[in-house]
A = this chain, B = another copy of it.
Amino acid sequence: MKAIVNQKNFKKALGIVEKVVAKNTTLPILSNILFKTENGRLKLSATNLEIGINYTIGAKIEEVGQVAVPARIISDFTNNINDEKIALIVKNNVLSVNSEHYKTQILGLDAKDFPIIPKIKNKPLATIPIKILRNSALLVVDSIALSEARPELAGIYVNFENDKIIFASTDSFRLTEKQIDFKHSLKNSFIIPRNTALELVRVAGELEGEIVINISDNQVSFSSDDFEMVSRLVDGNYPDYKKVIPDKFISKVLVNKNDLEKNIRLAGLFSSNISDVKIQCLETKTNITAKNPDRGEIETDIPSTLKNQPFEIAVNYHYLIDGLKIIDTNEVVIEYTGQGSPIVIKPGDNRKDLVYLIMPLRK
């Protein structure tokens, strides 16, 4: 193989694929990146056997070929040089990386030993702008269950239904649901594993344009012209979470999101227990207090607009802060649905595309 690449493009490509390189693996080949000439371009591939990424860049290909090389060393080297052009030459599984100021030889492995990243041969399921996919995944990613106790909760539920794509996640303490409009009406759903969702959010920040979603029985792929990410899907049926979201409220409050978040954080300083922080939504203000026998106490209030009766928000305040973080409006609506029932958080502009719900504290 002999290929000449632009340093900036090559650096970007390494950045995109290297994060899925397996760390501390017993299979040494998985800590490598596969370099392969393909249709007059250079394809970089990495996989940890759960997620695989291919990314292709323009290159001047003088000789076709392939090699697998340790990700760490080629990436550290490329990130630390400024020479514009890099020549990649493979002989006997040794990759020579040469530029104006540097000559290196990196010992690689036979490309034939690199695991095959599967292709999904079904017809594409949907094509959506990558920014919208990223934003939706980003909103729901924090509520994914960390524990594998219920494996089906350890991922993002993606549900195509009635001209909508619904992204949902819950760890059974809180739940996030984001809906986006979708031009075609189709019925399908799957669960993306947490790590895949995190990688997708990370890598999508580097990409532009549209992304094609493709699924098989147990795999999903996200692909564009240059990029492809393939992952296993979570096995199992997502619970019928819709029935947990209350359709009516008893009272609700409209309050400035940043002020509320800040005051809850400050109250958190005076608490050693989640139940130390009390949030009371009154006629014209929201009162936040915390009292702890070892630390002291704090009292703050911010103006707010109440509908119906005053109420107290009795939830884990950390989850409330998480919920406020994903609201993209200056004001936030908090709905009270009764004692022992969840608290519902929505954007302040009455949009219905984003719902965050916190289960009540058990006493």
Which A residues are closer than 8 A to B by beta carbons? 70, 73, 76-77, 80-81, 94-95, 101-107, 262, 265-266, 269-270, 294-300
For the complex, give the distance between the alpha carbons of A94 and B106 in Å: 65
Give A18 Cβ to nearest chain B Cβ, in Å: 14
Point out the residues of chain B lying under 8 angstroms from A295, CB to CB.
70, 73, 106-107
Is B106 in contact with A296, judged by CB distance below 8 angstroms?
A: yes
Given contacts A73-B296, A295-B70, contact A266 B102 (CB under 8 A): yes
Q: Which of B106, B269, B294, B299 contacts A76 (CB 8 A)?
A: B269
For the complex, give the distance between the alpha carbons of A270 and B270 in Å: 51
Q: Which of B77, B103, B300 contacts A102 (CB 8 A)?
A: B300
Which single residue of chain B is at the shortest CB-CB distance from A294?
B107
For the complex, give the distance between the alpha carbons of A295 and B104 in Å: 10
Give how many copies assemble into the complex: 2
**Among A80, A106, A270, A296, residue most surrounded by chain B Cβ atoms (within 10 Å):** A296
Give A286 Cβ to nearest chain B Cβ, in Å: 13
Give A82 Cβ to nearest chain B Cβ, in Å: 9
Given contacts A262-B80, A266-B80, A295-B107, contact A300 B73 (CB under 8 A): no
Is B297 in contact with A104, judged by CB distance below 8 angstroms?
A: yes
For the complex, give the distance between the alpha carbons of A6 and B95 in Å: 62
Is A296 in contact with B94, judged by CB distance below 8 angstroms?
A: yes
Which single residue of chain B is at the shortest CB-CB distance from A81?
B266
Given contacts A102-B298, A262-B80, A296-B94, contact A269 B73 (CB under 8 A): yes
Given contacts A294-B107, A295-B106, contact A300 B101 (CB under 8 A): yes
Point out the residues of chain B lying under 8 angstroms from A101, CB to CB.
300
Point out the residues of chain B lying under 8 angstroms from A299, CB to CB.
102-104
Is B104 in contact with A270, judged by CB distance below 8 angstroms?
A: yes
For the complex, give the distance between the alpha carbons of A208 and B167 in Å: 55
For the complex, give the distance between the alpha carbons of A76 and B81 in Å: 41
